[in-house]
Amino acid sequence: MSIKKRFIAGATCPQCKAQDRTVMYHSEGKDYRECIACGFIEARLFDSQPQELETRGNRQEPQRQSEIQVLHFTPNPSKDDSDA
């Protein structure tokens, strides 16, 4: 079985700086990237799944029922009402 290599659009080789000459492939449980211009190879091993970053849209707010208080505002008597 041959290894299926995929080109990475816009990628630049860290060694020779050639653009659009980098391929990625998976072999023996590792991901590799390889420059076809200079032969640079880098193995990338990911042990865990990437975690989603916390944003306002997915953040779980703790329940704050005990901190909520009701405030009642009463109007101040105006100067005209106190003179009467």
Model pTM above 0.75: no
Q: What is the pLDDT of residues 26-36, one digit of tens each?
A: 988 889 999 99
Continuous H helices in the chain: 79-83
| Tokens at 36, concatenated | 């076809």
Percent of the chain past pLDDT 90, that is, above it, reads 40
How far apart (Å, rounded) are the C-alpha atoms in residues 59 and 53?
9
- Give the confidence band of 83 by pLDDT, cuts at 50, 70, 90: low
- What domains can you pick out in the chain, each with its CATH number? 1-46 (2.20.25)
pLDDT in tens, 27-61: 888 899 999 999 999 998 766 677 788 888 887 76
